[in-house]
Amino acid sequence: MDKMIIYLPIVLAVLGLIYMFVKQQWVMKQDAGDGKMKEISDHIYEGALAFLNAEYKLLAIFVVIVSVLLAIVSLVVPTTHWLIVVAFIFGAVFSAFAGNIGMKIATKTNVRTTQAARTSLPKALNISFGGGTVMGLGVAGLAVLGLTAFFIFFFHFFMGGVWTNTMDMTIVLETLAGFSLGAESIALFARVGGGIYTKAADVGADLVGKVEAGIPEDDPRNPATIADNVGDNVGDVAGMGADLFGSYVATVLAAMVLGNYVIKDMGGNIGEAFGGIGPILLPMAIAGVGIIISIFGTMLVKISNNEAKESQVMGALNKGNWTSIILVALACFGLCKYMLPETMQMEFFGEGLIQISSMRVFYATLVGLFVGAVISSVTEYYTGLGKKPILKIVQQSSTGAGTNIISGLATGMISTFPSVLLFAGAIWASYALAGFYGVALAASAMMATTAMQLAIDAFGPISDNAGGIAEMSEQEPIVRERTDILDSVGNTTAATGKGFAIASAALTSLALFAAYVTFTGIDGINIFKAPVLAMLFVGGMVPVVFSALAMNAVGKAAMEMVQEVRRQFRDIPGIMEGTGKPEYDKCVAISTKASLKEMMLPGLLTIGFPLIIAFVPMLFGMNHLAIAEMLGGYMAGVTVSGVLWAIFQNNAGGAWDNAKKSFEAGVEINGKMTYKGSDAHKAAVTGDTVGDPFKDTSGPSMNILIKLTCLIGLVVAPILGGHTEEGYAEVTKEISVENNITINKDNAEATVTYTTIVNGEEVIKKETFTGTKAQVEAKLKAFEAANDVARDENVKTIEKIEINKS
Amino acid sequence: MDKMIIYLPIVLAVLGLIYMFVKQQWVMKQDAGDGKMKEISDHIYEGALAFLNAEYKLLAIFVVIVSVLLAIVSLVVPTTHWLIVVAFIFGAVFSAFAGNIGMKIATKTNVRTTQAARTSLPKALNISFGGGTVMGLGVAGLAVLGLTAFFIFFFHFFMGGVWTNTMDMTIVLETLAGFSLGAESIALFARVGGGIYTKAADVGADLVGKVEAGIPEDDPRNPATIADNVGDNVGDVAGMGADLFGSYVATVLAAMVLGNYVIKDMGGNIGEAFGGIGPILLPMAIAGVGIIISIFGTMLVKISNNEAKESQVMGALNKGNWTSIILVALACFGLCKYMLPETMQMEFFGEGLIQISSMRVFYATLVGLFVGAVISSVTEYYTGLGKKPILKIVQQSSTGAGTNIISGLATGMISTFPSVLLFAGAIWASYALAGFYGVALAASAMMATTAMQLAIDAFGPISDNAGGIAEMSEQEPIVRERTDILDSVGNTTAATGKGFAIASAALTSLALFAAYVTFTGIDGINIFKAPVLAMLFVGGMVPVVFSALAMNAVGKAAMEMVQEVRRQFRDIPGIMEGTGKPEYDKCVAISTKASLKEMMLPGLLTIGFPLIIAFVPMLFGMNHLAIAEMLGGYMAGVTVSGVLWAIFQNNAGGAWDNAKKSFEAGVEINGKMTYKGSDAHKAAVTGDTVGDPFKDTSGPSMNILIKLTCLIGLVVAPILGGHTEEGYAEVTKEISVENNITINKDNAEATVTYTTIVNGEEVIKKETFTGTKAQVEAKLKAFEAANDVARDENVKTIEKIEINKS
């Protein structure tokens, strides 16, 4: 039985996809409303498809280029198998397909939600959340299916389906990393490109429509209005989906890599149970079970009262979410107990092997679940309506845009305090419990509810769109009121979803970072080496520059949009009277093209920097392991700085947004009720303008930046790092004592110069011993003894040992 | 002769101070103008003194508290000598005294510059730059005098004035670190408190005066106007002076510490030349010679043409600056050649001992001089009037404050790109040339021209004040025109000065970081250990939160000021008609009190975090060396993130400021000339409001944060790290093999559990050997041999060695 468990995640993933399909059919069967509603919805649907098609074309080119590069690498580097190319392509295709499912269902669900809201709020929630569920299960199901299927395939291909040794499994997992790289590449396009698209369309529509032509938001006469609505789906649905797809796959992969090293630390064999790969299977099993738990969780999300308010809707979502989290905790308990050896040995840096019980691994998963839950509350505190930080920004708006902006920036900056302490505590705790395997499993447990998180997340923009459609098709006020309730809850879940996404990206990157170190075989990343420290600086800088480029990209893309809208207002007769039809598709095309063009530079920065650090020093003949350590420093810099800038930008943006929204219901400033249209409100609008690219473009892009950086590192690792086709690095030594100086009467010194050949490269090392003559002689003896045997795993041949004592 | 060179820096410092005194007398002898000018100037002078006195009171309390803490530490920790308390107090007093000299001369020079500008521009430059020179020489002279005098005293006190061994010198330098800590503590008050003061007064004066009462800037009827002018001196003169004083001392100290380790790497003795301490003396000698060179440089700064424009004034400053830099390079060549052994051995991580010629150390100093010069150009590019980034912000102002702010933020963010690459390149190059000693000497060489840099820097706010006095005392337009030329050049030098300050802080911190690692005796900082990685995250977060707190502090302090100004307008009869006299001193008192109160929280954050990281885990019995490594991770996080946020905030703030100023002369936007008062200008003013606390409060505060963090680490190092009073850590060992498991037929495993006693604390360590039985036995033998002798420097007694082989 326990040998069959390898197929369990596939079965669970397929079950999830079947449920998704059923749910999808159910949503599609719902009433899509009357003529005008349908027309608007169709425009959004077509616009979304247009973006996807354009994106796919660009993606296809990108995938071909990277595939060729990977193929060349697999030809040149003996440890990299060509199957990595296949895994890469499938990773990209699966992620794109998941995004496609999500976008399609989201753009079909919106109008059905509007229609349902005409009669019933519970039904409207049911449908909009149903759309979200389809999206969530599509992402989670395809992620687990793809990853597991490839793992089983590679496990059979490279190892014949039975445990042989750690090295073979390393090859399996290195090849599997291609799948993850493919998935994350799509995320780059979806999250960064999508983030630029959504804000460019938004700004473009507002600038010409609201400001120049003086027509309201979502007015069908505005040629950019469809692009604006498409943008919501592109950014919040497809972008978020691809982001979490990437995190999900990368987290599970990293946990598998570290599971393999647990087996290594235990002597390379843990017996027959679960084919001898229990620690490697565990993260996949948790992911699979998480899908089923998420399905159950989504079933709990419903309300019965047609007069329900925000708090009841939020309560329904919370019920489903918390139930999922608790069930995942229970499942982790069972799976850890069932699949792991009761006691494991794990190597801790500087502490040697430590006995770790399976229960400690379980506790580590609890840490992950805790972080996932708490980061949402932290995010909500700093960005939630009516919370102290927002009220403060509102107060500061009364003295102008300047103070509003300072206050918003400060809020975003201060919000890094609890968030980073939470992450730091989580790293520490999960590591103390079960090493980096614990860190990776904490991330895996947190990500197990991905389907549920995405359902909650995607429901927001669907409701937002539903409200927009209600407005555009001039429904009765009650319809808008109902969709507004859903939309308002959706705004909160959007902020907490961003918190979850950054937490997942942070933990994923850490797990990948740990996997990278073990892959390369370096003994840690020592920032006291100046080149490593220099790369830590460079890595820290990249997220800052990336953010700036992303923000500038929004500005440039928006200007192209503005020009097109102006042209249409000028050239199409009767457009303002409603008799001429605006060319929505041209606006969609322009912002599609502009956003994909503008994402090139930040994308290049993301991919280019790690490759330059890895390969340029190689041309100058630098030691590979030294390069690996530098690249590790770079990865750490990007991760630390990226997490900080993500939290800062997301929360500042969210805070400004809600400070502005506060004016809709009216706020009390200096004892006076203040509303929309006041000077303070205008200041808050300015703040929101700054916050928009923060929270929708550059902030969320950080997730991709840090994950992709660490994944590129992981894929490059075999080229840099510690093993060849046969096993570990081929290290040969030639040892000779160069000189032996006596300085003072009691101070002797001996310098041993030896040549170590690592992967065919000569590395000259020196070791110096000082002390009394007797001490130096003893040290030389010890050195001899140590070199005879201490590195036996690495040393293939010791060509010559000559020690001349004076 | 070469034994006397230890006294050379003192002699040069005293010469510098004598020249300063002469120059001071000369400035004071200049005509201070007529009644009204003198009255205004006196107000500013008294206000500045009021701030200094209030600061000194708080400082005295702070110094007493820290002294008591240090005294307790010196009682408890055998390696910390009580003289560190004395050094600390003197460091604080010297820095405060230097600040005092600077503030006094600056507030006396301003009115004399105005008076001189009535007749001659060359004379006005001569006087304002003369005031700056006094400031620069005061700081540099006192820094070198204090540090050198204490070094000589400790060298004689602990070592009898002759070289004994590295350990004794470590005690000398550890005690000397107290001086540096004292200096940097003052910088905390001067830079952070001063930064809050200057912006609180500025905002408070503008908000009530300009906006509410509708009177122009610098109007004597505004009670806050004197506070505003005092603020310029407090922030730009005293703050910058204390900042560079701290950098100067810390850099030289760090270089001395690393020089000591060069001697250690060379076997603990380099012969008789220069008392056997050439590498330790070298940084002091460079600093001393730098003072004389700076004096010479300042002499070159003059113009003869009364009709000179900005470019000629800038040219005169550049001539002096570049001459100083070139002369320092020549001096470094001579001193390196003269004072260092022709070849040294230096320990490089993972590469063993490497032969380094004295010329390579010289090349490292060139790297430092290069960085100092280039960072100024980079800063000028991103913040200079008429440069591309500024023109872009100006263009973006036409679409409102939102786009202006996004553009300014993006400019600041992108400016981190060349700056960080420059720093990273400098770290790499200077380390490759001469290890961390090279990094520290690069910093020392850069700081050698501190007196010159400060002269250029202080000249700006003096000219600014001179212009203000001309305005307030209603001089003829030509006077204001002349001071405006000086002020305009001063704005440029203010920006480049900030670049120099952050570059110096960054290199200083790196040097301190390296000194910390060598002090604690840890073998590097490995971020692959989770607790270290967690602290890297926490360290990265602190500058972000610090910046937010500083910005909020400005807001709070400004509000207190606003209330006082409102009260005076209400309560003092005839104030608006000019018949009632405003109570300037009350405003000065309020902003003094508020700024010092508001700096508490960020100050506490700076000092508290490293102490918590160092001492809380100690309470839980954590291994001291592990704590040392964690604290190192924290320091690296603070440095990397702090440098990034300093560059970002300084340059964004500078860019917004000059974008706003561009409107004064008029700018072309979309083909139309646009001036002050336009909507675009209003948007630019909003940007400047955000930029003000960025560039004058939170940005420059980062310098102090990163240096103080690393200095606290350095002072704490002896408590955490590797040596006791006698020498190295008292490490005793008890070794016993706990178990010896045979897993498979060919896999044997032996676990050696041993107790290491480090400074009286038991640390349990494990080492595991695996392999075939024969291999394991051989490994055990090697382990035995290695422990017998390999650590002889650390091992005092081996109590028991029992190895049971099964």
Å between A12 CA and nearest CA of chain B: 33
Give the number of other CB atoms < 10 A from CB of residue B799: 11
Q: Could you report the per-residue pLDDT of B321-336, keeping only the tens digit for each? A: 999 999 999 999 999 9
Confidence category of residue B773, pLDDT binned at 50, 70, 90: low
* H and E: helices and strands count for chain A: 23, 8
Asked if B425's CB is within 8 angstroms of A686's CB, the reply is no
* Nearest in space to B169 (alpha carbons), one of B67, B279, B287, B72: B279
> pLDDT tens, B503-543?
888 888 888 888 898 888 787 888 888 899 999 999 999 99
| B801 — pLDDT class (breaks 50, 70, 90) | very low
Burial of B313 (0-12, 13-18, 19+ CB in 10 A): buried
pLDDT digits (tens, 9 = 90+) for B588-637: 888 888 888 888 899 889 999 999 998 888 888 888 888 999 999 999 99
Pairing status of strand A352-357 against strand A667-669: unpaired
DSSP of A72-128 = HHHHH-TTS-THHHHHHHHHHHHHHHHHHHHHHHHHHHHHHHHHHHTT-HHHHHHHH
- Report residue A787 as tokens: 């070199």
> How many angstroms separate the CA of residue A741 from the nearest CA in chain B?
10
> How does pLDDT run across B6-36, given as a tens digit for each residue?
888 999 999 999 999 999 999 999 988 888 8
pLDDT tops 50 at residue A795: no
Task: Kindly list the residues from chain B whose CB atom is less than 8 angstroms away from the CB atom of residue A533.
Answer: 427, 510, 636
Integer Cα distance of B237 and B224 in angstroms: 19
- Eight-class DSSP state of B6: G
Structure confidence at residue B792 (pLDDT): 29
User: Is B400–A693 a contact, with Cβ atoms under 8 angstroms apart?
Assistant: no
- Nearest Cα to Cα of residue A630 among A617, A644, A643: A617
> Nearest CA of chain A to the CA of B429: how many Å?
9
Over residues B730-740, the mean pLDDT reads 41
Residue A752 has pLDDT above 70, yes or no: no
- Helices B388-397 and B358-383 pack at an angle, to 10 degrees, of 30
- Chain A residue with minimal CA distance to B415? A545
State how far the Cα of A174 lies from the Cα of A170, in Å rounded to an integer.
6
Residue with tokens 């845009």: A401
Q: What is the pLDDT of residue A782?
A: 56
DSSP H helices in A118-193: 121-159, 166-187
Closest CA in chain A for residue B424: A534
Nearest to B544 among A207, A413, A632 (CB): A413
A272 CB-contact burial (10 Å; exposed 0-12 / middle 13-18 / buried 19+)? exposed
Is there a contact between A526 and B530 if contact means CB atoms under 8 Å apart? no
Partner residues linked to B758 by β-bridges:
B731, B761
Using DSSP, state whether B660 is helix, strand or coil: helix
DSSP run (H or E) holding B271: none
DSSP 8-state code for residue B769: E
| Min Cα separation B340/chain A (Å) | 19
Among residues A59, A52, A86, the alpha carbon closest in space to that of A188 is found at: A59
When scoring B355, B388, B527, B698 by the number of chain A Cβ atoms within 10 A, the one with the most, hence best to mutate, is B527
Chain B nearest C-alpha distance from A521 (Å)? 12
pLDDT for A3-15, tens place per residue? Answer: 778 888 999 999 9
pLDDT at A757 over 80: no
Distance (Å) from the C-alpha of residue B424 to the closest C-alpha of chain A?
4
For residue B515 the two structure tokens come to: 């000194």
pLDDT computed for residue B733 by the predictor: 45
Name the minimum distance, in Å, from the CA of B416 to any CA of chain A: 6
Q: What is the mean pLDDT of residues A391-419?
A: 91
Look at B785 and A781 and tell me if their CB atoms are within 8 Å. yes
Reported as a pLDDT band with limits 50, 70 and 90, residue B790 is: very low
- Does the pLDDT value for residue B760 go beyond 60? no
Region A508-524: mean pLDDT is 85
Across the interface, do A555 and B396 touch by the CB < 8 Å criterion?
yes
Q: Supply the pLDDT for residue B644.
A: 95
How big, in percent rounded to 5, are the helix, strand and coil portions of chain A?
Answer: 75, 10, 15
Please give the pLDDT value at position B764: 56
What per-residue confidence (pLDDT) applies to B528?
87
- The pLDDT assigned to A781 comes to 58
Q: What's residue B54's pLDDT?
A: 82
Closest CA to B80 of B142, B143, B20, B170: B170
Query: Who among A547, A637, A770 is closest to B640 (CB)?
Result: A637
Cα separation, A604 vs B233, whole angstroms: 45
- When pLDDT is cut at 50, 70 and 90, the band that residue B735 belongs to is very low
CA distance A423 to A371: 7
* B235 sits in which H/E element: none
For residue B493, pLDDT over 80 is answered with yes
Q: Do B541 and A644 touch (CB under 8 A)?
A: yes
User: Chain B partners of A782 at a C-beta cutoff of 8 Å?
Assistant: 782, 785-786, 788-790
Which pLDDT value is given to residue B710? 92
d(CA A405, CA A383): 14
* CB atoms B789 and A770 under 8 Å: no
Q: DSSP assignment of A269-291, as one string?
A: ---SGGGGTHHHHHHHHHHHHHH
Please check whether residue A258 is in contact with residue A440, taking contact to mean a CB–CB distance below 8 angstroms. yes
A244-253, A433-442, B398-407, B776-785: range with lowest mean pLDDT: B776-785
The beta-carbon neighbor of B547 closest among A413, A636, A686 is A413
Mutate to test the interface with B, among A430, A532, A640, A679 (most CBs of B within 10 A): A640
pLDDT at A723 over 80: no
- Pairing type for strands A795-802 and A731-742 reads parallel
Q: What is the share, in percent, of chain B residues with pLDDT greater than 70?
A: 89
Q: d(Cα B357, Cα B367) in Å, to the nearest integer?
A: 16
Comparing CB atoms, the residue among A352, A410, A788 nearest residue B765 is A352
Number of A–B residue contacts, CB under 8 Å = 294
A510 contacts B533? CB cut-off 8 A: yes
In this structure, are residues A603 and A192 in contact, taking their beta carbons and an 8 Å threshold? yes
Question: Does B576 or B370 have the greater pLDDT score?
Answer: B370
Residue A778: half-sphere exposure toward Cβ, Cα within 13 Å: 15
**Is residue A306 predicted with pLDDT exceeding 90?**
no
Q: What angle do CA A774, B522, A345 make, to 5 degrees?
A: 95
Across chain A, what does the average pLDDT equal? 84
Digit-coded pLDDT (tens) for B162-217: 888 888 888 899 899 999 999 999 898 888 888 898 888 888 888 777 777 778 77
Other beta carbons less than 10 A from residue B574's beta carbon: 10
| CA–CA separation, A322 and A336 (whole Å) | 21
User: A771 has which bridge partners?
Assistant: A748
pLDDT digits (tens, 9 = 90+) for A663-707: 988 888 888 888 888 888 988 988 988 998 998 899 989 999 999
Q: Report residue A774's pLDDT band, with 50, 70 and 90 as the boundaries.
A: low
Query: Smallest CA–CA separation between A633 and chain B, in Å?
Result: 8
Q: DSSP string covering B336-372, please?
A: HHHHS-SEEEEEETTTEEEEEEHHHHHHHHHHHHHHH
Q: Which of A4-18, A618-632, B266-280 has the lowest mean pLDDT?
A: B266-280
Whether residues A690 and B626 touch (CB distance < 8 A) is answered with: no
pLDDT in tens, A60-82: 888 999 899 888 888 877 777 88
Instruction: Mutation target for A interface from B203, B353, B532, B533: give the one with most A CBs within 10 A.
Output: B533
- pLDDT band of residue A433 (cuts 50, 70, 90) is very high
Residue of chain B whose alpha carbon sits nearest to that of A770: B267
Three-class HEC string of B661-696 = HHHHHCEEECCEEECCCCHHHHHHHHHHHHHHHHHH
Q: If you search the block for the tokens 């902030």, which residue do you land on?
A: A699
Q: State the pLDDT confidence band at B771, using cuts at 50, 70 and 90.
A: low
Cα B76 off chain centre by: 30
Chain B residue numbers with beta carbons less than 8 Å from the beta carbon of A548 are 409-411, 413-414
Q: Which of A596-605, A759-768, A787-796 has the lowest mean pLDDT?
A: A787-796
pTM across the whole model:
0.87
Contacts of A766 in chain B (CB under 8 A): 351-354
The b/e string for B188-221 (b: 16+ C-beta within 10 A; e otherwise) is: bbbbbbbbbbbbbbbbbbbbbbeeebebeebbbb
Distance from CA of A540 to the nearest CA of B (A): 7
Whole-angstrom distance, CA of residue A67 vs CA of residue A85:
6
Q: What is the CA radius of gyration of chain B?
A: 28
CB pair distance less than 8 Å for A528 and B531: no
The share of chain A scoring above pLDDT 70, in percent, equals 89
Which of A382-386, A748-752, B250-254, B651-655 has the weakest average pLDDT? A748-752
* Band of residue B441 on the pLDDT scale cut at 50, 70, 90: very high
Give the span between the Cα atoms of B282 and B9, in whole angstroms.
Answer: 10
Residues A405, B405: C-beta atoms closer than 8 Å = yes
Per the CB < 8 Å rule, is B268 touching A409? Answer: no
Q: Which of A207, A346, A347, A406 to mutate to test the interface with B (most CBs of B within 10 A)?
A: A406
pLDDT band for position B557 (cuts 50, 70, 90): confident
- Whole-angstrom distance, CA of residue B463 vs CA of residue B451: 18
Q: Are A135 and A105 in contact (CB under 8 A)?
A: yes
Q: Is A726 exposed, middle or buried (0-12, 13-18, 19+ CB in 10 A)?
A: exposed
Please give the sequence-ordered ranges of beta strands (E in DSSP) within A328-480, or none if there are none. 343-348, 352-357
Burial of A799 (0-12, 13-18, 19+ CB in 10 A): exposed
Residue B35: how many other CB atoms lie within 10 Å: 8
Burial of residue B547 (number of CB atoms within 10 Å: 0-12, 13-18, 19+):
buried
Identity of the residue in A541, A551, A785 whose CB atom sits nearest the CB atom of B420: A541
Q: Which residues of B518-541 are buried (b: 16+ CB within 10 A; e: fewer)?
A: bbbbbebbbbbbbbbbbbbbbbbb
pLDDT at A498: 84
Contact call for A514 and B527, based on CB within 8 A:
no
Q: Do B686 and A401 touch (CB under 8 A)?
A: yes
Smallest CA-to-CA distance from B229 within B104, B39, B492, B48 is with: B48
Which residues of chain B make contact with A354, given a CB cutoff of 8 A?
766
Judged by DSSP in three states, A724 sits in coil
A420 vs B contacts (CB less than 8 Å): 537-538, 540-541
Is B549 a residue whose pLDDT tops 60? yes
CB count, 10 Å around CB of B102? 29
DSSP string, B461-477: HHHHHHHHHHHHTT--H
For residue range A328-344, list pLDDT tens digits in order: 999 999 999 989 988 88
For CA atoms A668, A669, A670, A674, the dihedral sign is negative
Residue from A509, A528, A631, A795 whose CB has the most chain B CBs within 10 Å, to mutate: A528
pLDDT for A209 equals 79
| Res. A490: pLDDT tops 60 | yes
